[in-house]
Structure 1
Amino acid sequence: MTQAWANFFDPGHPAGRPSFKSRSRSRPAVDVPQARDLNITRLSRRWGAVNLPKVGRVRFRWTRDLPGVTRGGPAGRITGARLVKDAFGWQIVFRAERQVPAPVARPGPGLGIDRGITVALVLSDGTTRDHGEWLTSGEKEHLRRLEKTSARRRAARPPGQRASRRLARTYDRIARLRATAKRRAVDWQHQTTTELARTFGVVVVEDLTITNMVRTAKGTIERPGRNVRQKAGLNRAITGQAWGRTVTLLEYKTRDRGGLVVKVPAPGTSQTCHRCGHRDPAARDGTRFSCVNPACGWAGHADTNAAINIRNAAGTAVSGRGDLGAARSAKRQPPRAA
C-alpha cells in the first residue's frame, strides 16, 4: 500500500489512486519477517511444528527438506516465513537462504516449442507434451451444479443484502474445485518444464503478446464485434493453457542448469515451410501442413512444422534468458531440416 501511494503521488508515474481490496476477493497473508523465534522442529515424517507470533505452537504438513533444519538436508538457513490463506485453508511458506553455485554453461541440443490449445506443447523433434482434463467428469458435474446453485441463490438475494452463509459455503466449494484444477495444471507444468530444462541446452519459443490475443471481440454499440461467443471460447482455452507461466518456469529452470531460453518473432512460423522456406497461408489446413512449392512438397503436422521454424529462428531472437555463450552458439546454428 505504501508503494501504491508513492506511485500515485509521483508526477511521472501513470498509477491512479489506490483502492482498497474487498475482503471477499483479497488473499489474506501474514508475514513473519524474522526466523529467530520460529523454532521449527520435525515431529514425524509428514508433520512439523512452528511457533507463530500471537498464535503459539502450530503444526504444519512437512513437504520438503528445510535448509538448516532437516538433518542431512541442504545447507543454508531459514530467514522468515509467510502465512497465506487459499481455498484449502492456511498455508505456510518458509523463506530460505542458501549458497547456490553459479550455473555452468553446458552443451545440449536445441529445441523449438509451439504452444497450442488442442495439444499443449509440440516440440521440434516431433514429440508432444500433452495433458488430460484437470477435473474428472464427476468433479466437473459437481462444479456445474454448484455454479447453478450459486446463480439461483444470487438471483433470489435482495439488492444490497450481504450473501447468506449458504451462498458463502457454495462459493467456498466452487473455489476449492477450481483451486484443485489449478494445482494439477501447475504440477503438470512443473514436471514438464523440469524435464525439458534437463534435456535441452537451448529452448526457443515464440514471443507472444498473450494479453492482446485474449482480448474480447464484443466491440462497441456503434461497431459491434463478430463471432463474439467463438472468440470468448478461444480466449478461455488460451487462458486455461497458461502459456506465459510455462515460459516463466522454463526460463529459470533452464538458466539454473546452464541453458538458455530464446524468444523469437512469432509471425509466419505456422505458414512457412521449414524445409524450403516458402511462405503461403494456404499451405496450412487445420493441423495439416502441405507445402505448395512444387520443388518441395513437404507434408506433415502443422504444429511440428511451426516448432521447427521456431527452433531455426534462434538467430533472430528478440530476447534471451540464460548463458550468453549458449546464446552465441544458438545464433551461429544454421537452419536444419527435419
Structure 2
Amino acid sequence: MALRRSYKFRLRPTRKQEAALTACLDDHRTLYNAALEHRRTAYAKAGVRVRYGGQSGELRHIRADDPGGQDRWSFSSQQATLRRLDRAFAAFFARVKAGRTPGFPRFKGRGWFDTVEWPRDGDGCRWDSQPEHPTATFVRLQGVGHVRVHRHRSLRGMAKTISVKREGTRWFVILSCDDVPAQRLPAVGAAVGLDMGVVSLVTTSDGDQLPHPRHLAASADRLARAQRDLARKVRRQRLDHAHKTALALVRTYGVIVHEDLRITNMTRSASGTLDAPGRSVAAKSGLNRSILDAGWGVFLRVLAHKAERAGRELITVSPTGTSRTCARCGHRAKENRLSQAEFVCRRCAHVVHADVNAAINILRAGLALREAAGAA
C-alpha cells in the first residue's frame, strides 16, 4: 500500500540566500494582500465577486509591471498563493452557509505569512538539485539559488510539492511525497488499553505508565522574554515525544484502544459570562493548561497515523464511567476514586492505581466493540 507523506528538513541558507528567502516571502505576502484588496474593493464598489481564474490571469501583467520584483519569483508559486486566498474565501462562505461565525479573510502581517509553496517539483523549484554532490543535498528555488538542506533522514516516494517555511529565525523545506511505501510491522497478538492522564501521558492496561516531560512547565521561566520562540520549541519537543511514544506502542500491540476524547470541549474556559459567571475558574484553568501541556491531541493524531501505516487496529471508546468503574467487580461510584492516583472499590475493596483501572476498562470496552462488530 502506497501513502502520501510529508518530509520536513532544516535549510542552511547563506546570508545572501536568507535575504532572498525573506524577500520571496514578503513579495508573496504582498501579492496575497493585494489580491484580497482587489476582491474586497470589487465587491464593495460594484457587487462583483472576483475569483481565482481572473486573478491568475492578471499575474502576467503584474509581473511585467514589476521588473526585478514580482517577476523574479516562480509563476507557479504565485498561483499557489492566489489559490491559498481562494481557499480562505471558500472556507469563509462555507462557514456562512453553515451558520457559524464566518471570520472574513484578513490581510497578512509579517508574522502571519510564513510559507511559500511550489506546486510541482521541477516548476520553479528542484529537489536534490545537485545530485553529483557527494555529501550534501540541495534544493533549488527560483530567485534564491541552490540552498543546502540538512537531510537528517532518507526520503521515500516521489516529491510532488515543495514548500519553504520560516519558523522564527529558522528556515525549513517541506516536501509532500506520493507513492511512499507503507512500513508494516510484524503482526503481534497483544492488545492494550490506554488511559490519558495529566500525571502520566499514558497509562496502559498492563500497568505501564509512560510519562510526559512537561516541557511547557519546565520552560515557563523563559516565556516572558522568548514567548514565540519557546512555544515553537515546546511544540517540536511535544511532537517528537509523541512520535517516540506512539511508535513504541504500535511496535508492541496489534490492537490499541483509547478514549474518544473531545479535547476542545474539555479545555473550554469555565469563566462563563457577566450574568452567569463560572465556578472554580482558577482550578479549571490549571487543568486546561495541564491537558494542553500533556499534548493529548497531538499524541492521538500521531498514534492514528502510525497505527494505520503499521497495519494496527485502533479502537476508540466512550470515556464515560471508565475512571469510576471497578475493573474487578464492575461497581461504578464516584467515591471509588479517592484521588488522582488511588482507586479503592467501595463494594469489593479492590485497590489499584486509578489510571491502570481505567485503562483496563477501556481495553474491555474496545474488545467488546470489536467482538460485536465481528459478530455482525
Sort the TM-score into its range (normalised by shorter chain): 0.7 to 0.9
Percent of residue pairs identical: 31
**Structure 2: 5+ residue stretches without partners:** 1-84
- 1:14 equivalent among 96, 99, 105: 99
1:39/1:51 contact within 8 Å kept: yes
2:229 maps to what in 1? Answer: 176
Supply the AA of the counterpart residue of 2:249: L
Instruction: Give the 3 Å change call, closer, same or farther, for CA 205–331 of structure 1 in structure 2.
Output: farther
Over 3 Å counting, the alpha-carbon distance change for 1:197 and 1:30 in structure 2 is same
Contact 1:105–1:259 at 8 Å: present in 2 too? no
- Please, which of 97, 112, 120 is the counterpart of residue 34 of structure 1? 120
Q: Distance in 1 between matches of 2:182 and 2:265?
A: 39
**2:89/2:105 contact within 8 Å kept:** no
Cα displacement (A) at 1:12: 4.0
User: SS of 1:78's equivalent?
Assistant: strand
Say which SS state the counterpart of residue 286 (structure 2) adopts.
Answer: helix
The 8 Å contact of residues 314 and 330 in structure 1, kept in 2 or not, is answered as no
What secondary structure, in the 3-state scheme, does the structure 1 residue paired with 2:223 have? helix
Matches within 5 A, 1:131-210: 131-134=212-215, 140-144=220-224, 146=225, 173-210=226-263
Which residue pairs with 2:361 in the alignment? 309
Q: Which residue of 1 aligns with 2:89?
A: 5
Match of 2:142?
Answer: 53
Please report the RMSD computed on the Cα atoms of aligned residues, expressed in angstroms: 2.6
Residue type matched to 2:126 in 1? Answer: L
Q: Structure 1 regions of 5+ residues with no counterpart?
A: 68-75, 147-172, 318-326, 333-338
Superposed counterparts of 1:73-92, under 5 Å: 76-92=157-173
SS at match of 1:51: strand
Q: Given the superposition, is the C-alpha separation of residues 136 and 60 from structure 1 closer, same or farther in structure 2, using an over 3 Å criterion?
A: farther
More helix as a share of residues: 2
Match of 2:152 in 1: 63
Quick one: distance in 2 between partners of 1:179 and 1:102?
Answer: 29
Q: Deviations over 1:8-57 (max 9, x none)?
A: 44674435252215425524111111212515136465x42111022222
Shift of 1:110: 1.0
2:191 equivalent in structure 1: 110
TM-superposed CA distance for 1:102, in Å, is: 9.1
Task: Give the conservation status (yes or no) of the 8 Å contact 1:81–1:94.
Answer: yes
Checking the alignment, whether the CA contact within 8 Å between 1:27 and 1:84 is kept in structure 2 is: no
Relative to the length of structure 2, the TM-score reads: 0.69
User: How far off is 1:120 after superposition?
Assistant: 1.1
Paired residue total: 284
Report the Cα distance in structure 1 between the residues aligned to 2:243 and 2:169, rounded to whole angstroms: 21
CA distance in structure 1 between the aligned counterparts of 2:115 and 2:231, rounded to whole angstroms? 20
Q: Offset at 1:104? A: 8.7
Aligned to 1:259: 312
State the SS of the aligned residue for 1:285: coil
CA distance in 2: counterparts of 1:266 and 1:111, whole angstroms? 15
Is the contact between residue 265 and residue 316 of structure 1 (CA under 8 Å) also seen in structure 2? no
SS in structure 1 at match of 2:279: coil
